[in-house]
Amino acid sequence: MTESTGNARTSGTARVLRMSNLFARTLRDDPSDAEVPSHRLLVRAGYIRRAAPGIYTWLPLGLRVFRKVEAIIRDEMDAMGAQELQFPALLPREPYEATNRWTEYGDGLFRLKDRKGADYLLGPTHEEMFTLVVKDLYSSYKDLPVWLYQIQTKYRDEARPRAGLMRGREFTMKDSYSFDTSDEGLDRSYAAHREAYVKTFDRLGFDYVIVKATSGAMGGSRSEEFLARSAVGEDTFVQCTTCDYAANVEAVAVPSPAAVAYDGVPAAHAEQTPDTPTIESLVAHLNQAFPREDRAWTAGDTLKNVMVMLKHPDGTREPLAIGIPGDREVDQKRLEGQLEPIEVEPMDETEFRKHPALVKGYIGPGVLGEESASQIRYLLDPRVSEGTRWVTGADVAGQHVIDLVAGRDFVGDGTIEAAEVRDGDACPNCAAGDGHGTLETARGIEMGHIFQLGRKYAEALDLKVLDENGKLVTVTMGSYGIGVSRAVPVIAEDNHDDAGLIWPREVAPADIHLVATGKDPDIYAAAERIAAELGRAGVEVIFDDRPTKVSPGVKFKDAELIGVPTIVVVGRGLAEDGTIEVKDRRTGERESVALGDIVRHLTDLVRG
Ligand code: ATP
Ligand code: MG
């Protein structure tokens, strides 16, 4: 470990934090704006305070945890051979203009002007700046590969800041970037980062899974996310029951079934289906008025056409129709994941009125598509493949078409992965071969994201170096992020109980929470000596030295809430038989240790 916190416990002296003057106030009640346990506990235990929506102040206890998390991340980045630098957070517009992100980031960017009227932004991420600094300093293949990183404050005007530090509008990110001349070089840089991330997350102390990801607004190819498994997560991911496939739902690509022959299928026929604007009412009516011989009609036999509006970053709007099997809903995140940076909204009444061909509840492929009367772009779910038969709207109120065959009677303008992914869906990886794995969904919090950017940024900003033959080649890049401030609540989510936080030792604000109880001045004197000796041994101590008017009950409650892994009580035991109680915050196990042995006992415990 490089900086202040890491080696303090084995080398020098550690300063004792005294509860009597610690800048914190523990709260018995949950803050009203906290939706998730980590947020409630971090506020109640005096780690953070809200400054504005999505913007938080680190109090002394919180800052200690934050710095330890940061030290672990820095340690692993340094160990892999990446070099730390630091960009400003206040950035000029021009580089972001060159890559079009000044526009693409839309409302997500904090923009400001200087006194001369020039445009600036608060950096949401720093690809542009890293690209430019390498261009500034390097010009030959001999200089590459190079891996650079920073741990720095980012600003994003998130639409929905949430769960305290989890989704902030100001937050700390570790972002690194690799620069190579060849694709193989990029693969190596990517693999090295992946390995460093595994080591980092193994040390941070929460349960995580590595999943395939989309690369979002960044462009590029190979991409994986490190998700903390958590029911309060905003991301949904899938895992296969049989193979090792794992992916963010946004990245799940449903295999398109092979084309089926439709020679014997009767011609499409429109039928009266009065009062059937919903899939449910339609299926009931089909089974009653047009029963099938082989089986009953189901929602999966129907083709539902969902109308949305695309909002482009430059503010322009465009209608889009999405055709999906009627037994599925459109998943907004999957849809937006495909279209990023475009945002998607439902189609409103005004827009509907602009397209008289659209009959609400009975919209069919007949009026959709760039070549159609409406000229509305029409994208189909991959399951609506060549030869599949559908019941869908006939574009007349109260009528549907039966036996409409994809490829024979209609085609879309392309396909889109917008339908929800469900538990039990076939695995796109192994079910396509001879396997029969199915998907299980679960929730997670994105803690890290690694991806191969490729040459997009280098091309936009003209980052080239001379190769072995003296020819200019465009550099290929990787981009790798970790949510440093987000890690604090994520660790807390995985490490708490009803009474409070339970920090893993490596990130805890202290090693020992030493509590002195009772009225006997000798007890306080003994506790003082223990605190001082532990401090000299490099053990970090929070010492509850508050006077006797603070009851033992309050002290114990605070100790449990704050969540240091070992709680040591100097109290009645000392007077009775000369022992001190050592309690494990996680397991609740207690043991009595003789006064003469306590410092050595605790020092050994802490050094593990
Ligand atoms: P998300 O999907 O959660 O919005 P992202 O994909 O936009 O995140 P990246 O650009 O990949 O985020 O940023 C790298 C890392 O920074 C993320 O993996 C996450 O841990 C962290 N991060 C991103 N946005 C925030 C935020 N608003 N607050 C705290 N941490 C964040
Ligand atoms: Mg990401």
Q: What is the pLDDT of residues 560-585, one digit of tens each?
A: 999 999 999 999 999 899 999 999 99
Cα separation, 295 vs 596, whole angstroms = 81
Max CA distance (Å), the chain:
97
Q: pLDDT exceeding 90 applies to what percent of the chain?
A: 88
Q: How far is the CA of 483 from the centre of ligand 1 (A)?
A: 6
The atom of ligand 1 lying closest to the CA of 226 is 18
Ligand 1 within 6 A of CB of 236? no
Q: What is the mean pLDDT of residues 55-60?
A: 98
- Res. 307: pLDDT tops 50: yes
Q: How far is the CA of 158 from the centre of ligand 2 (A)?
A: 14
| pLDDT tens column, 218-261 | 445 789 999 999 999 999 999 999 999 999 999 998 888 889 99
Look at residue 215 in the predicted model and tell me its pLDDT: 61
CB atoms within 10 A of CB 584: 14
Look at residue 436 in the predicted model and tell me its pLDDT: 83
H-run or E-run covering 285: helix 279-289
Q: Measured at the alpha carbon of residue 69, what is the angle toward residues 441 and 12, in degrees to the nearest 5?
A: 155
Q: How far is the CA of 172 from the centre of ligand 2 (A)?
A: 14
Banded model confidence at residue 433, pLDDT cuts 50, 70, 90: low
- Res. 5: pLDDT tops 50: no
Look at residue 11 in the predicted model and tell me its pLDDT: 54
Q: Which ranges of 442-591 would DSSP assign to H, the alpha helix?
A: 456-461, 484-494, 521-536, 552-562, 572-577
Ligand 1 within 6 A of CB of 156? yes
Cα separation, 535 vs 538, whole angstroms = 5
Torsion on CA atoms 484, 485, 488, 493, rounded to nearest 10: -100
User: Which of the listed residues 166, 343, 446 should we mutate to test ligand 1's pocket, taking the one with most ligand atoms within 8 A of CB?
Assistant: 446
Look at residue 251 in the predicted model and tell me its pLDDT: 92
Look at residue 567 in the predicted model and tell me its pLDDT: 98
* DSSP strands (E only) in 202-245: 208-212, 223-229, 235-240
| pLDDT tens column, 178-229 | 999 999 999 999 999 999 999 999 999 899 999 999 865 444 578 999 999 9
User: Which of the listed residues 173, 343, 479 should we mutate to test ligand 1's pocket, taking the one with most ligand atoms within 8 A of CB?
Assistant: 173
- Residue labelled with tokens 């080591």: 199
Q: How far is the CA of 447 from the centre of ligand 2 (A)?
A: 8
Instruction: Give domain limits for the chain.
Output: 16-30+510-607, 48-206+454-492, 269-415
**Residue 461 neighbours by CB under 8 Å, 6+ apart:** 95, 98, 99, 128, 131, 132, 135
Topology alike, domains 16-30+510-607 and 269-415: no
Look at residue 432 in the predicted model and tell me its pLDDT: 66
Sign of CA dihedral 76, 78, 83, 84: positive
Look at residue 214 in the predicted model and tell me its pLDDT: 82
Q: pLDDT exceeding 70 applies to what percent of the chain?
A: 97
User: Are 32 and 164 contacting, i.e. CB atoms less than 8 angstroms apart?
Assistant: no
- Topology, domain 16-30+510-607: Rossmann fold (3.40.50)
| pLDDT tens column, 121-145 | 999 999 999 999 999 999 999 999 9
- Res. 2: pLDDT tops 70: no
| pLDDT tens column, 151-174 | 999 999 999 999 999 999 999 999
Look at residue 216 in the predicted model and tell me its pLDDT: 52
Ligand 1 within 6 A of CB of 449? yes
Q: Encoding tokens for residue 60? A: 């002394």
Ligand 1 within 6 A of CB of 123? no
Helix (H, G, I), strand (E, B) or coil at 188: helix
Ligand 1 within 6 A of CB of 351? no
Average pLDDT over the chain reads 94
Q: What is the mean pLDDT of residues 417-444?
A: 89
Ligand 1 within 6 A of CB of 483? yes
Q: Encoding tokens for residue 523? A: 């007890």
Class of domain 48-206+454-492: alpha beta
CB atoms within 10 A of CB 347: 20
Look at residue 33 in the predicted model and tell me its pLDDT: 86
Q: Measured at the alpha carbon of residue 448, what is the angle toward residues 63 and 169, in degrees to the nearest 5?
A: 55
Class of domain 269-415: alpha beta
| pLDDT tens column, 28-39 | 999 888 889 999
Look at residue 9 in the predicted model and tell me its pLDDT: 45
The atom of ligand 1 lying closest to the CA of 173 is 16
Banded model confidence at residue 400, pLDDT cuts 50, 70, 90: very high
In this structure, the residue with its CA closest to atom 19 of ligand 1 is 483
φ and ψ at residue 239, rounded to 5 degrees:
-130, 145
Q: Which ligand is nearest to the CA of 124?
A: 1
Ligand 1 within 6 A of CB of 448? yes
Q: How far is the CA of 448 from the centre of ligand 2 (A)?
A: 7
Ligand 1 within 6 A of CB of 173? yes
| pLDDT tens column, 88-126 | 999 999 999 999 999 999 999 999 999 999 999 999 999
Q: How far is the CA of 385 from the centre of ligand 1 (A)?
A: 36
- Please report, as a single letter, which amino acid is at residue 199: K
Ligand 1 within 6 A of CB of 125? yes
Q: What is the mean pLDDT of residues 459-476?
A: 97
Ligand 1 within 6 A of CB of 444? no
Look at residue 8 in the predicted model and tell me its pLDDT: 42
Ligand 1 within 6 A of CB of 340? no
User: Are 59 and 46 contacting, i.e. CB atoms less than 8 angstroms apart?
Assistant: yes
The atom of ligand 1 lying closest to the CA of 445 is 3
Q: What is the mean pLDDT of residues 332-357?
A: 92
Q: Which ligand is nearest to the CA of 226?
A: 1
* DSSP strands (E only) in 156-254: 170-180, 208-212, 223-229, 235-240, 246-248
- Res. 6: pLDDT tops 60: no
The atom of ligand 1 lying closest to the CA of 167 is 28
Ligand 1 within 6 A of CB of 487? no
User: Which of the listed residues 58, 151, 201, 449 should we mutate to test ligand 1's pocket, taking the one with most ligand atoms within 8 A of CB?
Assistant: 449
Q: What is the pTM of this model?
A: 0.92
Look at residue 397 in the predicted model and tell me its pLDDT: 93
Look at residue 518 in the predicted model and tell me its pLDDT: 86
